[in-house]
Chain A
């Protein structure tokens, strides 16, 4: 089974801090995604990557950046954390082919105080 591992389950950070969320997948998937999940809003795409060093903005990229230096690792960066970035962050990966679904990590619950 594909495994997607997010480095932290819970994080508490201060306003203005630079925050790194790490995600690693073990199945050589080309595509990786970062979503945030908020009650009543579902999952909203922040950024995605379709290859090493390749990235594209999702629907809500403001305040975030990403890095993909190796195929298995996709990092989400909050340049200057704000309280409205308090959320559950989910990483997902997906292999090539039209019939493939996403495999999600367990999520990181980030609280910005």
Chain B
């Protein structure tokens, strides 16, 4: 079952902040975040392993709440270049090898205006 992302879309002005959420019905081993610009391939942003880890990537950071089976992506002081569709991908905590097989959410469209 796909994780659920919210919101489906968000519109910002440059400099504003945004939070994108990813919720799973399954216990998770890890969460990935990707950004896809229009007409391009998704690009890997970061990975979080179970343990409540928070990671940073320039002004983009993320957290992972293992107990709630949720991850959030934080974009601060947004720039025009942040526009795109953001996907979370989850790896279940299945107890066996999953080969890192990701199940992706439906995506969140982020638009940053000047």
Which A residues form the contact surface with B (CB < 8 A)? 30-31, 33, 35, 40-45, 48, 50, 56, 58-59, 90, 94, 98-107
Judge if B67 is at the interface, Cβ distance under 8 Å: no
The answer, yes or no, to whether B40 is at the interface (CB within 8 Å) is: yes
What does DSSP make chain B's interface, helix, strand, loop or mixed?
strand
The answer on a CB contact under 8 Å between B40 and A106 is: yes
Instruction: Judge whether B23 is part of the interface by a CB distance below 8 angstroms.
Output: no
Q: How many residues of B contact A (CB 8 A)?
A: 24
B102 on the A face (CB < 8 A)? yes
Do residues A41 and B106 form an inter-chain contact, with CB atoms below 8 A?
A: yes
Q: Are B107 and A98 in contact (CB-based, < 8 A)?
A: no
Q: How far is the CB of A105 from the nearest CB of chain B, in Å?
A: 6
A66-B55 Cα distance, complex, nearest whole Å: 36
Cβ of B103 within 8 Å of any chain A Cβ, yes or no, is yes
Contacts of A50 in B (CB 8 A): 99
Complex: chain B residue closest to A96, CB-CB: B100
Q: Closest Cβ of chain B: how far from A66's Cβ, in Å? A: 14
Question: Are A99 and B41 also in contact (CB < 8 A) when A42-B107, A45-B102 are?
Answer: no
Among B41, B47, B89, residue most surrounded by chain A Cβ atoms (within 10 Å): B41
Known: A43-B89, A99-B49, A101-B34; 10 extra A-B contacts, CB below 8 A, are A31-B100, A40-B106, A42-B105, A42-B106, A43-B104, A44-B2, A56-B99, A98-B47, A98-B49, A99-B47
Q: Could you give 13 example pairs across A and B, Cβ below 8 Å?
A: A33-B101, A35-B104, A42-B107, A43-B87, A43-B104, A45-B103, A98-B47, A101-B32, A101-B44, A101-B46, A102-B42, A103-B44, A104-B41
